[in-house]
Amino acid sequence: MERILPFLPGTMHSSTAEQLTTCAIAMRFEAGQAVQALELIRRVIEPIRAKQGCHSCTLVQEVGPEEALRYTEEWTSVDAFRRHVQSPDFWPILLAIDLCCAEPQVKIGALTLQGGLDLLLRLREAPPLDTPGPALAADAPDATSGESLTCGE
């Protein structure tokens, strides 16, 4: 069972889903750590939503015996997503990830990437968009291996 937090409503429109670059992060926490992660992310939700290219930004708190959050961003382009990941507004997301009890499951686009967290960190450290860099798809590990991340493995 899950509950969408009332202060973080979703704005996804299915008619434009194919055009969006999506980043979804599923995080699990030890007792009490989810509250800290929730507060970190809550502070940047509205500034992220206000950015040019942000289609939606949501946070879902899962209800159950485990403390878990699902964070999702949808961007109108890969360039807008890359600029966001390299911005100071993305640091609280990385700090929330640091609080996880296991490596989070990270999905970018429609692929479940074995190195999704590594890809986020590489994008964060990549040269600014003023400098030509590799395409997002070229940065991604081979998604045909059938491997995916699950917390607790």
Q: What is the pLDDT of residues 118-152, one digit of tens each?
A: 777 777 787 776 544 444 443 444 333 333 333 44
* Rounded Cα distance, 60 and 10, in Å: 10
What is the CATH code for 2-8+20-128? 3.30.70.100
Domain map (residue ranges) of the chain: 2-8+20-128
Percent of the chain scoring above 90 in pLDDT: 49
**C-alpha closest to that of 28 among 142, 149, 120:** 149
CA atoms within 13 A on the CB side of 25: 28
- Report residue 35's pLDDT band, with 50, 70 and 90 as the boundaries: very high
List pLDDT tens digits, range 91-115.
999 999 999 999 999 998 844 344 6
pLDDT value at 1 more than 50 = no
Given a cut of 50, whether residue 12 has pLDDT beyond it is no
Say what the pLDDT of residue 19 is: 62
Round to whole Å and give the CA distance between 57 and 71: 8
- pLDDT greater than 50 at residue 57: yes
Residues 132 and 93: their CA atoms lie apart, in Å, by 26
- 62 three-class SS: strand
Give residue 16's pLDDT. 36
pLDDT beyond 60 at 49: yes
